[in-house]
Amino acid sequence: MYCGSIIISAFLKFIILTFSLALSESTINCYVNLLFDLGMLIIVWLTFKDSMIEQWHDFKQDIKGHLLYGLLIGTALVYGVGIVGGFITLLLGGASTSQNQNLIQTIVAAHPLLMSLTTVVFAPLLEEMIFRGIVFGWIYEINPKLAHLVSAFVFGFVHVMISVLSGNISEWIQIFSYFFMGAALSYLYEKRNNIYVPILSHAMNNFIAMLLMIF
């Protein structure tokens, strides 16, 4: 995933230099996120299309129960554990926001609509299919408890990975919020046995965050 975003970024910068386009760094980052998430989403969806369609039919069979968990209980849980994780980060001397969050805020300020599409629609679909549908699902068959831990850790690491790999080791401390959120999302997936429930909770959490950033 990290390599993919680097390749797209390099390609866009090549186009900009070749045609002398006047685009800011935030604009480049916005389109990198958009194109990368959309491309990966298409690949993952085509790979697991049958399972996603089957779970969608299951979702409609108990739509009230799934919506209750996805939009209300799950959203409150994910948002709540995110706050707890942020509090732990502050207690350990970390900054109130991660570099990943600061970057998103910068891009949102310049391109609120495009980033809303990426953050509220593409990212929840892609990340839940990967971290809950694939990582959690595969490990769960071997060891359910390990599945919760690994999927939450990988989910958290991906959100601080760029900063850490760039040499900012202190960003490791920011993993707590994302780890707890990942654990909450895997709990929702296990509880309802339907991938669209954590997708909804993830999307709602990001939607609330976007509203706070924009307004």
pLDDT beyond 80 at 3: no
Q: Radius of gyration over alpha carbons of the chain, in Å? A: 18
pLDDT beyond 70 at 36: yes
pLDDT beyond 60 at 20: no
Residue 6: pLDDT band with limits 50, 70, 90:
very low
Residue with the bigger pLDDT between 191 and 31: it is 191
pLDDT tens, position by position, 8-18: 444 555 555 45
Residue 45: pLDDT band with limits 50, 70, 90:
very high
109 touches 30 (CB < 8 A): no
What pLDDT is attached to residue 18?
57
What pLDDT is attached to residue 15?
55
Q: What average pLDDT does the segment 186-213 reach?
A: 96
164: exposed, middle or buried (Cβ count in 10 Å: 0-12, 13-18, 19+): middle
pTM recorded for the entire structure: 0.88
Task: Enumerate the H helices of 62-195 as residue ranges.
Answer: 63-67, 74-91, 99-110, 112-116, 123-127, 137-140, 144-165, 175-192
pLDDT tens, position by position, 148-160: 999 999 999 998 8
In angstroms, the CA 139 to CA 147 distance is: 5
In angstroms, the CA 116 to CA 182 distance is: 20
